[in-house]
Chains A and B, each alone.
Chain A
Amino acid sequence: MKRVFALLFLCFLSSPALAAKVVPVWTIVPEESHLTFEAVQMGAPFEGEFKNFTGLIRFSSTNLPGSSAEITIPIDGVEANNPDRNKYIRMKDWFDAASFPNAKFVTTSIEPGLESGAYVAKGNLTIRDVTLPVTLPFTLAITSTDSGGSVAKMEGETTINRLDFGVGQGDWKDTKTVENPVKVRVSLTAREVAAAP
């Protein structure tokens, strides 16, 4: 009987469910992480940033199927480097922060990229009330700290079309005023917490 239990226990240990549960969790270091965007208004590019975003990241380079990221981006944390822009970007015709206080990015898969340290995250991006699949290629470098933990530095960039998400309604749909493609850049620093149960 004891042998049966031992065998069952061994099976349980090696089950994929448990294997997935040992994918390390990483916490984002807010002071060293940035979510920025670049858009073009009247022919002139301008940059903005979404501050105060939070996320739950599970990542292991040896267990990509078990890796995931779920990022929540409060619209109120946007900084568009101009008082008028800051006012309008939160309003109904743009991000409508009152109705849709957060944007979200939830990965559906993280696959290896072409080179070592390169990956491709595929996921669903929700802005306002629109959810669309987005691909985010990124590079990742994990280093060990003196205190014995691991620190990951991630850099990724993708381009989304603001009109796909309904960002810029009515007269703002005119792409001569604000162009449709918007570059989104992610730069994250995260610390490994522990193998979470």
Chain B
Amino acid sequence: MFWCNTVSRFGAVHKFFHWVIAVLVIVLLCVGIYMAEAELAVPQRIQIFSLHKSLGITVLALAVLRILWRMANIRPAHMATHAAWERMLATCIHFLLYAALLMMPLTGWIMSSAKGYPVRVFDLFNLPNIVGQSESIAKLANTMHEYAAYTLIVMIGLHVAGALKHHIIDRDDTLRRMIPFGRVRDSEV
């Protein structure tokens, strides 16, 4: 498996970033919804919030590395089966997904700092407070974090739907070229 992207498929590094971040984001969304809905006793709340923050900061770090890797690599070309409106929609959704990967952890970090709570990463170290304690900033960050999460869920839905549409209906390599060890039918460069 090539480490880097080619014009017809993604390299191993890109696939690693995609799937690891995808799993973390889904776990984070589930934990986040649980945190918001469940009536937890405060000590458990603190522990689960800390886990959520730790995973979130991990995604932030991976996202930054991933964006840098993407900028340094060629992107596989659109396929013949991709219609013009699909290309535009995909570009939009992908951009918004990247934006969410940065927006979600950042708004979370801001919200935590503004509420006066530390962001402790896996019991190893604390991140500095990104802002000072402020109720108004906390409320704003909270709203942004919440609504960005809902938007992210919709975008993931569209992203998955698109991948499945190409795989099942169009029967092209769109999904296959992101799967680890997926064999791509088009010739590799």
Residues of A participating in the B interface, judged by any CB pair closer than 8 Å: 41-44, 46, 81-82, 88, 170-172, 174, 176-177
Contacts and interface: CB of A to CB of B under 8 A. Distances in A.
B118 interface: yes
A42 B50 contact: yes
Nearest to A44: B118
A43 B53 CA distance: 14
A21 to B, nearest CB: 49
Contacts of B41: 171
B123 A176 contact: yes
Interface residues of B, number: 16
B125 interface: yes
A81 B133 CA distance: 10
A41 B44 contact: no
Given A43-B120, A44-B117, 18 more contacts: A41-B118, A42-B46, A42-B118, A43-B123, A43-B125, A44-B120, A44-B126, A46-B116, A82-B115, A82-B116, A170-B43, A171-B43, A171-B44, A172-B43, A174-B43, A176-B123, A177-B43, A177-B47
A-B pairs, top 5 by smallest CB distance, nearest first, are: A171-B43, A44-B118, A82-B116, A43-B126, A42-B120
**For A41, A42, A170, which residue has the most chain B Cβ atoms within 10 angstroms?**
A42
Please classify the interface of chain B as helix (H, G, I), strand (E, B), loop, or mixed, using the class held by over half of its residues. Answer: mixed
Contacts of B43: 170-172, 174, 177
A88 B116 contact: no
17 contacts: A42-B117, A42-B118, A43-B120, A43-B123, A43-B125, A44-B117, A44-B120, A44-B126, A82-B116, A82-B117, A82-B133, A170-B43, A171-B42, A172-B42, A172-B43, A174-B43, A177-B47
Contacts of A46: 116
B123 to A, nearest CB: 7
A126 to B, nearest CB: 26
Contacts of B116: 46, 81-82
Contacts of A177: 43, 46-47
